[in-house]
Structure 1
Amino acid sequence: MAGLILAAMAVGGGLITVGCTHAVSGRATVNDTDLAAHRSSVASSSSAASSSRAAAALGMVCAPLVAGAMEIDFKIDTFERRLDEQADREAVEAAARNAGAALSDTGNSVEGALRVNDVAAEKNSVFVEYIAATKDFADEMNSLVIRSVDVDIFVEAWERYDEASDAAIKACV
């Protein structure tokens, strides 16, 4: 058995030595057609990876925006119902506080996501406006609880939020 193993090792060693001693003379040349195809493939792959990163970044910003916008709409609807019902002051204030908190939380969440995700400049500006409008409307909503507010300023903040929200949701699609 030992003899067989030694013989196999000797034959294997000989094949390796003979195989490595043969050299090919000449110069290597590039096939231009293959080179162009390779470069195109690499560029396409790089473009796809970049597009995938951009889509992932957009998704990371849009997720808290869409979820927050749905919660804000629900809280604002509740606030409006309390006003329409002519509910007592405590119920209206609670609804205003809840809406203000939802606005603040969403603005902060979108701002945090935007800070760590690289989004295209034209969409970034839409999200920055959304954040500012959300925070301004949150301030106005929270002011209802603390003091009386100027109705015109309140309505303006609400309209700005609505427009910014619509634009931001469109930027996510």
Structure 2
Amino acid sequence: MKSGSVWFVYGVAVLVTFVIGVVAFGVFVLSKVFGGGSTEESSPAPAVVQASPSVRATPVPRKRAAQVLGVRAVVADARQVVVTVATPVGCAKNLRAVAYAEGVGAVAVRVTQEVGAGCRWQRKPVLVTAKAPVGDRTLIVNGTPWTPTESGEYQQALRASTS
């Protein structure tokens, strides 16, 4: 009888360890899909250094999230979508779209660009490729959820009410 109870305790310990691992993995995946625990936001502030004045001031482009104007599926490849963004004419550098996290019900996409000041804006499509077919999953583009429609277009899932 003593040998059977040892195996029972061992089995319970293995089961508890497995459940803890599954829960930890689920939390990790959710934090990646919904942007929790970003190292960009939690990094310590850099040390302050003495700056010397420059002779000529040049505008420094800033990396920022692009304004999303529309999303549509690519018919030829089920893993791809086209995100239409507002980008400045001739002033944007490094326009990038990356599917950085995927889950069962959603694909998280970040679209960024470096933008200078005093530019005219235009619409520009950017291609995003997911690891698996997007299908009917929600796209979370720069923090805003977009849901698929029957026509292959996507619409914002959350809209501000006008009433």
Question: Which band: TM-score by shorter chain?
Answer: 0.3 to 0.5
Structure in which a larger fraction of residues adopt strand: 2
Structure in which a larger fraction of residues adopt helix: 1
Considering only CA atoms, is the larger Rg found in Structure 1 or Structure 2? 1
Instruction: Give the TM-score normalised by the residue count of structure 1.
Output: 0.31
Instruction: Give the TM-score normalised by the residue count of structure 2.
Output: 0.33
